Chains A and B, each alone.
Chain A
C-alpha cells in the first residue's frame, strides 16, 4: 500500500465495516457494536494518518479505477477535506463508544442494522469531503441523506413523519443541486472540480443560474433560514444516538460543500462581487441566528431546544461564509469543529439523561446536576461554549466572525451576532440554574451514567475548552492552508 491510497481507505473501511456489522448482527448481536466502534476507530486513525500526510506532502490525489482526471473520478484530500474528515470520524467514534445501551433500548433487536446504517451514513459524509468530482459528490450526498432519513425514522413514534418531511426537503435540495450541476456541465463539459474552476466563465448566465440553484439546494440541506423547518422535527424525534450522530456533522458537511463549491469552484470574487450570493447567505444566516435563538427560548423539550439552537449555530457558520473574508471564514471553520463538539456533547448528555431517567422534559431536569456531576460538568462547559464565553471554542469562532464583520464594515451583522449570544445565554442559564439548584425528590435513585456513556461526554466537554485555548494551533495546522485561493489569513 502506498500513502497515496489513503483517501480511498476511509470509504472502503466503512463499507466493509457496515457489511460486516450487518452480518455479525445476525450471528452474534453483541459483537455488532464493538465492530462498529472498531470501524470508527480505524477511520479516525486513517483520518489522522491522512492529515499527517497532507500536512507534510500537500494534497493527496487518488484516481478511482486508475482513470485519471478529468475523465475519471478522483478523490482529493487537501487540508480542508482532511479537517472535515477529522471532525466527522472523531465525532463518530465518540458517539459510537457509548451508543450500545441507548440503541438497544430505542431499536430493540435491530441494533446491528442501526450501526450498519450509521456506518453507511459516515461513508456518505466522508465521501463528500474527499471527492473531487461534483457528480460523485451528489451520489455521496444522497447516500448520507438516505441513511440519515432512515436513522431519523428509528426514533420515537412521531419520527416517521419527521423523517418523511426531512426526506422530501432533502431530496428537493439534492435535485436543485443536480439541476445546477446540469447547467454547469452543459457549459463546461466537465465534472471535475479543479477542471471546472478553470473552465468557468463567471459572466455566463447558465453559470450564474447554477450558482443560485446549488446555493438553494445546499441551503435546504444546511437548514439556512427560511429553509430550516425540517430540522427541529427531525432532531427532536430521532433516537438520541441518531441525533447525536447526525446533528453535529450533517449540516456541517453541507456547509463544507457550500464552501467548496462557492469559493473553490466559482471563486470568491464571483460569489461575493459579481453576484450577491454571499450577501444573501449572510443576511439569511443572520435571520437564522435570531430566529433559531428566539425559538429555542420558547421550547419546553430539551432536544427541541437544542435543535433550534442548532439552527442558530449553523447560521453562524453561514454568516462566516457570507462575509467571505479570511478571518470570517476562519471563524466559520473554527465554529464547525467547536459547534460539532459542543452539540455532540449536549445531545449525548440528552441521551444519557434519557437513559438514566427515561424523560427529557426541561422541567424534569431540576437538580439533576448533582446526581450526574461529570455529565453535567461537561454539559456546563458545552453550554458556556454555546453562549460564546471564553475560554471555549465558541468564543473564538465568534471572535473571528466579529473581526471579519468589522473588517468589511458589516456593523449590523456584528451587532446581531453579539446580541444573539444574549438570547443563547437566556435559555442556557435558565437551564443551568434549574439543573443545579432546584431539588426534586423524583430524582433520588438516579445515578451517574455508565462509564462508556459518560467518558465520551467528558472528553467532548474538555475538547470544547481545549479547542478554545489552543484555537490558534487549529488555525495554524489547518485553517491557514484550508483557505480558498485568494483569501489569506494575515498574522
Chain B
C-alpha cells in the first residue's frame, strides 16, 4: 500500500481528505483547524518521505486511470516536481498556523469556506507538481484557478469581487490558451508525457508552428507566473486576506505558473529545440523587462501588499529568466529561486499581515516607527527583504548567484546587468521601509505590541529557514543537490 509507486498518490490524499472533514466540522472551529494542521503535517511528511528516492535519481511514477486514448491520469515525482511540492507542502504548515491566528484575529466571516478552499488549492498545487503529462497538468492547473477564486473574493467587498472578476478574466482565457496549446501538441506529437530535455523536436512542425505553440504555452502559464504584460491580476488579487496572498500569491498559484514555464521549456520543448527555433531569446527578454519594470513599479506603491505583489512579479521572472537562458547554472538558479523566493516572500507577507491584524495599517507611509513596537516582526521583515536584495548569508543570494553564473555561462552578460540593476531596485524599495520602521518614532504606536504567537511564530520560522539556507543552502531538503539534478537532466550538462 505504501510502496514507491503509490507514494505520489498518498501525497494528494491528506489535503483531499481534509476538505470534507473541514466542511463537516464547520460548527466546531477547533476541530476544523485541527484537520487543517493534521493534513498539512501529514502531506509534508509524505512528500518528504520521497526525498531519498528522488536524490538517488529515481523517477517515481504512478498511473491512475486513462483520461483519453493514450493519455493517462498519472503522477510522477521527478526532482523539479518534488522541489515544488516540498515548498508548497512545507509552507502550508506554517501558513495554516498563521491562518488560524489571522482569521480569528480579524474575525473573518466564512472561515469554513476559507479553510476548505485552502485545502483544495493545496491538492491542486501538489497535483500540478506531480503531473506526469500535460493533460494531468492542465487538469490540476484549472482546478487551482477555480479553487483560488473563492479565496480571492473571500471578503466579498466590492474590491474583492472586482478582483475576483479580474482574476478570472486573466486566468480563464489563459487556461483556454493552454488548452489549445496542449491539444495542438497532442495532434502534432501524439504524446503528452513530460520528458527531461523535451519531447518535441523540429520534425514535429516548422519553426513557425513550434514558435506559435510555444507562444500559446507561454501565454497559458505566463498569466499565473505574472510575466508582463499579463501580470495585472496579481496586484488586484491582493484584496484577499493576507495568508491567501502569502501562500497562494507568493507560493502556490504564481509558482505554479513559474513551474509551468520550467516544465514547458525544459520538459516539453527542451533546450535544443528552443535554441533551434530561437524562442528562448524572446522569453528571456520578456522576463528581463518584467523583472526591471516590476521593480520600478514596486517603488511607486504605497500599499505594502501591492508593493510585495510587484516584487513577486519581478522575482517570478528571475525563475522564468533562468529557464529561458537554458544553461546548467541558470536552471540551477531558476529551481533554487523557486524555493528560496518562496520562504522570503512568505515571510514578508506574514509580516504585512501581522502589522495589519494589530494596527489595521496597510500603507507603508503610515508604518514609520512600527519596528520599535513590533521588533521581532520587523526584524524578520528586514531579513527577508535583504534576502530578496541578494545579501550574502541569506538564501536569496545563493539563487541569484547561480542565475548570475548562468547568464555568463549562456554568454548573455546583459542579463547579468539586469540582475544587478534589479538587486539595486529591490534595495531601493525595501530598505526605506526598514529604515523608517526602526529609526523613526510614531506616538500612535505607543500601545501596539507584537501580534499573537500564532502569527509571530510562523514568520520567525520562515525567516530562520531563510538564514539557515543562506549559510547552508543544501541543508535538510538538499535543495542544491536537487536543483543540480534538475539542471543536469534538462540541459544534459553538469553545472559547476
Contact = CB atoms under 8 A, between A and B. Distances in A.
B37 to A, nearest CB: 25
Given A429-B168, A491-B70, A390 B143 contact: yes
A186 interface: no
A438 to B, nearest CB: 8
Interface string A453-472: 00000000000000001111
A475 B67 CA distance: 10
B65 A433 contact: no
Nearest to B69: A491
Interface stretch (A58-66, A202-210, A233-241, A397-405): A397-405
A418 B172 CA distance: 11
Residue of A389, A429, A471, A489 with highest tally of chain B CB at under 10 A = A389
A418 B156 contact: no
B186 A403 contact: yes
Contacts of A407: 187
Contact of B176 (A396, A418, A472): A418
Contacts of A489: 69
Given A429-B168, A475-B69, A403 B183 contact: yes
Given A384-B146, A472-B65, A491-B70, A433 B176 contact: no
Contacts of A396: 67-68
A181 interface: no
Contacts of A437: 153, 156, 161
A389 B143 CA distance: 8
A422 B176 contact: yes
A433 B161 contact: yes
Interface in A392-429: 395-396, 398-400, 402-403, 406-407, 414, 418-419, 421-422, 425, 429
B223 to A, nearest CB: 14
Contacts, number: 70
A431 B150 CA distance: 14
Given A391-B139, A391-B143, A425-B172, A418 B179 contact: yes
Interface size class of B (residues with CB under 8 A): 20 to 34
B322 interface: no
Contacts of B146: 384, 389
* Residue in A395, A402, A469, A475 whose Cβ sees the most chain B Cβ within 10 Å: A402
5 contacts: A402-B180, A429-B168, A469-B65, A469-B67, A472-B68
B156 to A, nearest CB: 5
A99 to B, nearest CB: 29
Given A418-B176, A418-B179, A437-B153, A399 B68 contact: yes
A2 interface: no
Given A389-B145, A403-B187, A472-B65, 8 more contacts: A395-B142, A407-B187, A418-B179, A419-B176, A421-B176, A429-B168, A433-B153, A469-B67
B173 interface: yes
Interface in B43-77: 65-70, 73
A94 to B, nearest CB: 24
B176 A390 contact: no
B164 interface: yes
Given A390-B138, A390-B143, A406 B172 contact: no
A472 B161 contact: no
Majority secondary structure of chain B interface residues (helix, strand, loop or mixed): helix
Nearest to A489: B69
Question: Would you list the 10 A-B pairs with minimal beta carbon distance, nearest first?
Answer: A491-B69, A472-B66, A491-B70, A390-B139, A406-B187, A402-B183, A437-B156, A418-B176, A390-B142, A389-B142
Interface of A: 384, 387, 389-391, 395-396, 398-400, 402-403, 406-407, 414, 418-419, 421-422, 425, 429, 433, 436-437, 469-472, 475, 489-491
B32 to A, nearest CB: 16
Contacts of A422: 172-173, 176
Contacts of A395: 142
Contacts of B153: 433, 437
B105 to A, nearest CB: 23
Contacts of B179: 398-399, 402, 418
B243 interface: no
Given A396-B68, A470-B65, A491-B70, A418 B180 contact: yes
Contacts of B143: 390-391
Contacts of A472: 65-69
B184 interface: yes
A101 B153 CA distance: 36
B371 to A, nearest CB: 38
B257 interface: no
Q: Which of A384, A396, A472, A489 has the most CB of B within 10 A?
A: A472
Contacts of B156: 437
A406 B213 CA distance: 13
Contacts of A429: 165, 168
Nearest to B66: A472
Given A389-B175, A391-B143, A400 B164 contact: no
Contacts of A419: 176
A143 B363 CA distance: 70
B168 A471 contact: no
Contacts of B172: 387, 421-422, 425
B161 A490 contact: no
A490 B187 CA distance: 12
Interface in B103-149: 138-139, 142-143, 145-146
A472 B74 CA distance: 14
A444 to B, nearest CB: 17
Contact of B168 (A399, A425, A475): A425
Interface string B166-197: 00100011011001100110110000000000
Interface string B251-277: 000000000000000000000000000
A419 B180 CA distance: 11
Contacts of A402: 179-180, 183
Contact of B183 (A387, A399, A433): A399
B274 to A, nearest CB: 23
Pick from A395, A419, A437, A470 the residue with the most CB of B within 10 Å: A437
Given A391-B143, A406-B187, A414 B180 contact: yes
Nearest to A418: B176
Nearest to A390: B139
A433 B139 contact: no
